[in-house]
Structure 1
Amino acid sequence: MSTKSQRLQRLIQHYRDETGNASVDMHEVAKFAADRGYPLPKPKSALDRLAEQLSIAAREEVRHDKVTGRPYRANLAVVQWNNGQQLTLWHDIDVAPRRVAHKAFVQRREQMVGDALQLTLDVTHWNRVHEGEDPIVMPLDFTDDVEWRLNAPDQDDKAA
């Protein structure tokens, strides 16, 4: 028995095979699937949509440090599990206790590590199947990148 993700992956490949398109717009794949009788998922409730919008707003909220003037995210997200369901709790960074802030920062770092691992696997594969081309090298030490951005002129300075 296959998972829902595996069935959807096969559907994407079927769309590619049928259309000959290597690059796909998932809205087009969804229309393709619906036209062939694939059952559409139940729409999200208005409450679920509002909760999503609130999470996006919380993630995007930026404040500026009163001493350094540098921007920082105003809210920290901590993911936890409750009765087998994933729950994200949002905390104001300025009042979050250390244990909450630490957990949020560790979870964000783990996301970065996961992304770096997958990027390495993807680049390694691409280089193997395209061995006749110059290999793509993707450094994962971000120390210099972060330092450069910390010391880059503000966007306002670039416009001047």
Structure 2
Amino acid sequence: MSRRKEMQRFIRAYKDETKVTEIDMKKVAKWAAGRGWPLPLPPDPLDLLAKQFTDAAREVVEYDKKTGKPYRVYHALKTSHGGTQLHFFVDIAEATRTQMHVSLGLRREQMVSDGLMLSYDQDHWNDAHPDEDPIQLPMDLSFDIELRKNAPDEDEGAA
């Protein structure tokens, strides 16, 4: 059994034993550790620092001088080198068309994957609760995006 499958089995066992319906994963971790689950090694400090820089880069937002609208400065790209997947960032002002097309495509694919899973979850809940009004969330986000694009700014610093 894979490590992930084993962890999923522990989550179910924790839920069955405690009878909780809202699961706090920190409590699951403590419960699992008490039953012999090995604690992970601390992360490499350099890897941890790189992740902190990654998180910081993803939060950098500037405002278009012409429109005043926000945009993300750093865009993630993936590449493979020697069988290892690497991630790097490009500044939107310096990115080539190809780099931006790839980066934007990756973000769009994340949205599609999220939307697909959301629709599966919605369909399952609706099937499992036939006596309740079905939840129907529209998957076309165009209208919502246009509303937000044209909404007055609540906070000058918000993106």
TM class, shorter-chain normalised? over 0.9
Question: What per-residue deviation string (whole Å, max 9, x for no partner) do you get for residues 33-83 of structure 1?
Answer: 111110111110111110010000000000111111111001000122333
Structure 2 SS opposite 1:121: helix
Specify which structure has the bigger relative contact order, considering alpha-carbon pairs within 8 angstroms and separated by 6 or more residues: 2
Question: 2:152, 2:137 → 1: CA distance?
Answer: 26
Aligned partner letter, 2:63: H
* Residue 125 of structure 1, CA deviation: 0.4
Question: What per-residue deviation string (whole Å, max 9, x for no partner) do you get for residues 104-136 of structure 1?
Answer: 000100110011101000100000011111000
1:8 aligns with 2:25: no
Partner residue of 2:144? 145
Q: Which runs of 5+ in 2 are unaligned?
A: none
* Residue 86 of structure 1, CA deviation: 2.7
Partner residue of 1:108? 107
Question: 2:142, 2:97 → 1: CA distance?
Answer: 25
Query: What are the residue-to-residue correspondences of 1:48-59 with 2, within 5 Å?
Result: 48-59=47-58
Identity %: 47
Structure 1 SS opposite 2:109: helix
Aligned partner letter, 2:26: H
Query: What are the residue-to-residue correspondences of 1:69-88 with 2, within 5 Å?
Result: 69-88=68-87
Question: 1:55, 1:108 → 2: CA distance?
Answer: 15
Partner residue of 2:25? 26
Partner residue of 1:134? 133
Q: TM-score, normalised by structure 1?
A: 0.94
Q: Which runs of 5+ in 1 are unaligned?
A: none
* Residue 4 of structure 1, CA deviation: 1.4
| Count of aligned pairs | 156
**RMSD after superposition:** 1.2
1:91 aligns with 2:83: no
